[in-house]
Structure formats: structure tokens, C-alpha cells
Amino acid sequence: MSGTLNAGSGLPGSGIGSLATSVYSQCSAGPFAATVTAGGLPWRLNLTSYDRSTGVARGTISHLQIAAAPSFSSCTAVIKGTNGAVPDGVASVSYTSKTGILKVLPTGGNLHWYHVRRCAGIINNGDAATISASYTISPRQVITSP
């Protein structure tokens, strides 16, 4: 992923940054290898809390839309929040200032599979979807409050 954070101090956590690109490799859709493509970019980074004792900020990435095409068939599907046309998925994230690691967490979002076509019942419209990943932010950013 690549993106930007708003510079300064005392900034609100809502819309603190944006992610302009997101490229994937070695991805899977369930147990199968898949081609995965980001949509709805730029995604928005929002921070909602900060724990001084751990140095971890928590929040969300919003406006997610991720298309997946498992390699086993002509199956296609999209991960997002609702079945509508807009990219409206939300995934929970945490960021640790000490390590510079942004983690996309597998719980706490609203992600589901939609626009499912030719997937033989393996995934269906409305099925819950999860994503998880870890990214090293460079240069490392120090966040001390949302």
C-alpha cells in the first residue's frame, strides 16, 4: 500500500490519512489462490483511539472494495460493505508507533462478499468476509492520539 498521512499535531483522527494504492500477491479467496484487485481508492484511514501504555492507535480503513477471482474457476466476487454500487467496506486497523506496523485486523469491520458469480456455492452474496495484513510504514510515523 502507499498513501499519505496529514502532517501536524492536534489533528482529528477522522480522515487522518488516505491510501492511494494497494497491490496484492500470494492471496487467497478462502482456501484457493486468487487474483485480488483493490477498488474504491483512495481508501480513508481514520483513527479513533490511542492507548498510551502500549503506543497503539486503533481505527478503520473505509471505502474498501476488493475484487477477487479464485484461480480454480471463472468465479468472481467483490468484498465490500453492502451490495450497492459504491465502495463502502470498512476494516479495523491498529498502528504501533514503536514498530511502524499498520495491521489490518480480521475482525471489527463490515466486510461481506457481493456480486458473486459462478462460484458454485463456495461463497455467496452476503457471506461474511475477512481480510488481514501487516504493513511496515516508511518512514515510521509517531502517533500519540487520534
End-to-end Cα spacing for the chain: 21
Q: What is the pLDDT along the chain (146 residues), one digit of tens a residue?
A: 788 888 888 888 888 889 888 887 666 656 667 888 999 999 999 999 999 999 999 999 999 999 988 776 788 999 999 988 889 999 999 999 899 999 999 999 999 999 999 988 988 999 999 998 888 888 888 888 76
Model confidence, pTM: 0.87
Provide the CB-side half-sphere exposure for 85 (13 A, CA): 0
Q: Is 39 exposed, middle or buried (0-12, 13-18, 19+ CB in 10 A)?
A: middle
What are the beta bridge partners of residue 47?
A: 59
Q: How far apart are CA 140 and CA 146, in angstroms?
A: 16
